[in-house]
Amino acid sequence: MDRRATLATILGQSKVKQSKHRAAPPVLTSLSPYTGAWGREQASHLLRRATFGPTKALIDAAVQNGLEVTFAQLFAEQPMLDPPVNHNNTTDPNVPVGQTWINAPYSATVNLVGYRNQSLRAWTFGLMVNEGLSIREKMTLFWHNHFSVNEINDPKFLYRYINLLRGAATGNFRQLVKDITVDPTMLRFLNGNQNTRTAPNENYARELLELFTIGKGPQAGPGDYTNYTETDVIQIARVLTGWRDRGFNTNNADVQVESFFTLTRHDLGVKQLSHRFDNVNIPNMAENEYAHLVDIIFQKDEVARFICRKLYRWFVYYDISAATEAEVIEPMAQILIANNYNIRPALEALLRSEHFFDILSIGPMIKSPMDFVVGAFRQFAIPYSPLIARRYTAWFSLIRLTIPMQMEYFNPPSVAGWNAYYQEPGFYRIWINAATLGPRSRFTDTLATTGFVYNTVRHVVNVLELVQTVSDPFDPVVLIREWSEWLYPQPLAENQLTYLKEVLLPGLPDYEWTLEYNDYLNSPNDVNLRQAVETKLRNLLKAMLSLPEYYLS
């Protein structure tokens, strides 16, 4: 697929021709540091990919601060934030309203799982939408897609799992693999808690190799996948025997969520891996054996290439050509290896590279539902109620808007994560289909016009405040151009700008907007003048959010 293709055909929009972007130079496939211009286009591109929906203020600050300061802020260590709380449940006998439930037991008489699940999801939306200039939440979602779990109906387990990923966002990949291997949620999800010496379970062993660390590689023979063999799956399952979880849905205040090792359930024998891992023998090391295994797997450089390809598809583009493999993925992998598998140096090299800022890397990615919804609420700086019950109710309702768009936090469709990041040949295009297009368009239409109302609080774009961010709000051409530069990854074509001006001023000359907006500013309490200006701006914004370019990042 041509990177310059937009979604006009998919969206069925024929009234506006696709934008004609400026002629593209040859693709720069190098991981060499970018040394070109640093302006709004480059800052917007970086922040769109590394965060959810940057505001105009964040983009302006990034342009002003420069590339070096912006990167330092993106990757700066962030404190772990306060945990989710009981926001409105007065029947919880163990947790008063306003206090956290993450270590509190459940109840034999009251169903507490439901409200705590809502609280967890609301809190997660709040973290994403309120995050400043930081890559942490984007990386947390990346790891959630990579170490995918679903249908774990205990929010205490899920809280521990997602905070493990959040704390390791740009940290050490090897250590994260060790930690996730014995994480209580993962033990339950892939049946590691049922893996014993007398009944070995291969589920986690298989995914550890195929999805989490090294990947299959081309089929080399029966049971041989180039990077590992079926023998390795069997032997690794033996290595991982003996681990269990504790605390799932417990009503006992003395039992906490944790994993633990039981020696009597562990296979004490020597495990021999295949020629793919140099026929290495793993002796009995009891509770330390799993960590030794991970160290063995990470001796293979293909682990670095595997995770770098996934980072590339998450932040840059799904198609990895031979040139990209040689000039971007391989040097990125070598940076990862040289830095002991710490993610930050390799990821920062990718996001600082000529390749990332190449014109052909700007704008070809279709936004995920999380980028689409969270990004919009961040972009427009939608305010929320100061009352915690109302705020959590709104956040829970808003994060659920991504479900009909086929992306639900804490519930990817499979252990492989969301299809758009691995399923060939569609990749990102999978996000746009007959089932998801309607929810996307209804979302942007509602956000731009009537807004979403929860507990009497309306969550809608304040267009009268938004127009004041324009350098010359009296000029309709300047207004449309500046909003376009902010909302879209690439400049619109002239015919698109003309179409948008017709939406703002149907059949009227430009000066009519100047006069009407000036009249409103002179009499801001005049309801008729206010509504006339606001209606025009809402119609314009609705049209802008419906263009194919808004679906792109």
Percentage helix, strand, coil, to 5, in the chain? Answer: 55, 5, 40
Which pLDDT does position 13 carry in this prediction? Answer: 52
Using the predicted structure, report yes or no on whether residue 3 has a pLDDT greater than 60: no
CB burial of residue 65 (10 Å; 0-12, 13-18, 19+)? middle
Using the predicted structure, report yes or no on whether residue 348 has a pLDDT greater than 50: yes
Alpha helix ranges (H) inside 316-468 = 322-324, 330-338, 343-351, 354-357, 369-379, 388-399, 437-448, 463-466
Tokens of 480: 């449309």
Main-chain phi, psi angles of 366, to 5 degrees: -80, 130
Mean pLDDT calculated for residue range 50-70: 95
CB burial of residue 389 (10 Å; 0-12, 13-18, 19+)? middle
Question: How do residues 476-523 score in pLDDT, each as one tens digit?
Answer: 999 999 999 999 999 999 999 999 999 999 999 999 999 999 999 999
Question: How do residues 18-47 score in pLDDT, each as one tens digit?
Answer: 444 443 334 456 899 999 999 999 999 999
Report yes or no: 104 and 257 within 8 Å, Cβ to Cβ. Answer: no
Residues forming beta bridges with residue 353, ordered by sequence position: 33
Question: How do residues 323-333 score in pLDDT, each as one tens digit?
Answer: 999 999 999 99
CA–CA dist 90, 87 (Å, integer): 9
Query: pLDDT-derived band of residue 9, with 50, 70 and 90 as boundaries?
Result: low
CA–CA dist 40, 64 (Å, integer): 10
DSSP state of 300: S
Which pLDDT does position 365 carry in this prediction? Answer: 96
Mean pLDDT calculated for residue range 44-56: 95
Question: How do residues 132-145 score in pLDDT, each as one tens digit?
Answer: 999 999 999 999 99
CB burial of residue 385 (10 Å; 0-12, 13-18, 19+)? middle
Mean pLDDT calculated for residue range 465-470: 96
Using the predicted structure, report yes or no on whether residue 91 has a pLDDT greater than 80: yes
Question: How do residues 197-251 score in pLDDT, each as one tens digit?
Answer: 999 999 999 999 999 999 999 999 999 999 999 999 999 999 999 999 999 999 9
Using the predicted structure, report yes or no on whether residue 8 has a pLDDT greater than 60: no
CA–CA dist 26, 14 (Å, integer): 30
Which pLDDT does position 27 carry in this prediction? Answer: 47
Provide the greatest CA pair distance for the chain: 85
CA–CA dist 239, 478 (Å, integer): 64
CA–CA dist 106, 252 (Å, integer): 8
Which pLDDT does position 16 carry in this prediction? Answer: 47
Report yes or no: 159 and 103 within 8 Å, Cβ to Cβ. Answer: no
CA–CA dist 180, 187 (Å, integer): 9
Instruction: Give the residue among 49, 99, 128, 84 at the shortest CA–CA distance from 399.
Output: 128
Question: What mean pLDDT value characterizes the chain?
Answer: 94
Strands (E), 430-540: 452-454, 457-459
Instruction: Give the residue among 5, 40, 37 at the shortest CA–CA distance from 360.
Output: 5
pTM: 0.95
Using the predicted structure, report yes or no on whether residue 60 has a pLDDT greater than 50: yes
Q: Are strands 457-459 and 452-454 parallel, antiparallel or unpaired?
A: antiparallel
**Count of beta carbons in the 10 Å neighbourhood of residue 36:** 11
